[in-house]
């Protein structure tokens, strides 16, 4: 009984062999998946997401002595808007309009410590999920940006991520949020 030698199959006029077949199969499978990917992504409904403004937790000596700084308050708004924009541009999320709830949001105090009010507010905006965020300032050099994900149905925090940044500038804050969106939030 003669055993077929795959290395010599080309000389015998037989196309391929075990080393070629898996490669061909992978190529065809990849082509099929790539051809279906735009169609499946286009048909998926974006998740309605309530993105609340970032809040500052200032544990620095400067914050204790001088109180809130205007430039940091402006940065909080800047990165809140940046987060909303990047998530909306991804196509995975539609951002809920929170402006009708501004009075209730302001009345809730700090959202990171409001005992579950985040999901109630997000539900009132018609959202399925909610994001809150904090910037913890240890000093002008050391800051930490934190993002928390909430499930509106259950009222539970379902995820969170953070990044340490160096420098208290517009650029460092926006780079920190961009990193979180690109490498943590949308990478899942």
Whole-structure pTM value: 0.76
**pLDDT for residue 120:** 96
Beta bridge partners of 135: 56, 145
Alpha helix (H) ranges present in the chain? Answer: 21-43, 61-66, 70-89, 102-107, 117-124, 170-180
Q: Which two tokens stand for residue 90?
A: 């991804």
Phi and psi at residue 184, to the nearest 5° = -120, -55
Average pLDDT for the chain: 85
Angle at 80 between CA 75 and CA 83, to 5 degrees: 125
pLDDT at 178 over 90: yes
Query: How far is the C-alpha of 75 from the C-alpha of 121, rounded, in Å?
Result: 23
For residue 96, count other CB atoms closer than 10 A to its CB.
23
Angle at 114 between CA 167 and CA 51, to 5 degrees: 60
Query: How far is the C-alpha of 28 from the C-alpha of 98, rounded, in Å?
Result: 46
- Of 81, 86, 69, 66, which is closest to residue 169 (Cα–Cα)? 69
Question: How does pLDDT run across 68-100, given as a tens digit for each residue?
Answer: 899 999 999 999 999 999 999 999 999 999 999
């Amino acid at each position: 009984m003669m055993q077929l030698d795959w290395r010599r199959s080309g000389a015998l006029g037989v196309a391929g062999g075990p080393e070629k077949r898996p490669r061909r199969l992978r190529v065809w499978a990849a082509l099929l998946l790539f051809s279906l990917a735009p169609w499946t992504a286009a048909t998926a409904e974006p998740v309605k997401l309530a993105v609340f403004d970032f809040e500052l937790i200032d544990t620095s000596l400067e914050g204790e002595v001088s109180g809130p700084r205007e430039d940091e308050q402006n940065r909080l708004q800047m990165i809140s808007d940046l987060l909303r924009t990047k998530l909306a541009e991804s196509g995975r999320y539609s951002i809920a309009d929170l402006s009708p709830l501004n009075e209730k949001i302001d009345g809730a105090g700090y959202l990171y410590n409001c005992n579950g009010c985040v999901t109630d507010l997000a539900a009132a905006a018609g959202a399925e999920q909610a994001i809150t965020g904090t910037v913890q300032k240890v000093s002008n050099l050391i800051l930490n940006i934190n993002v928390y994900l909430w499930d509106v149905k259950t009222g539970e925090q379902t995820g969170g991520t953070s990044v340490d940044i160096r420098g208290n500038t517009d650029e460092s804050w926006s780079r920190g949020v961009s990193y979180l969106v690109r490498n943590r939030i949308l990478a899942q």
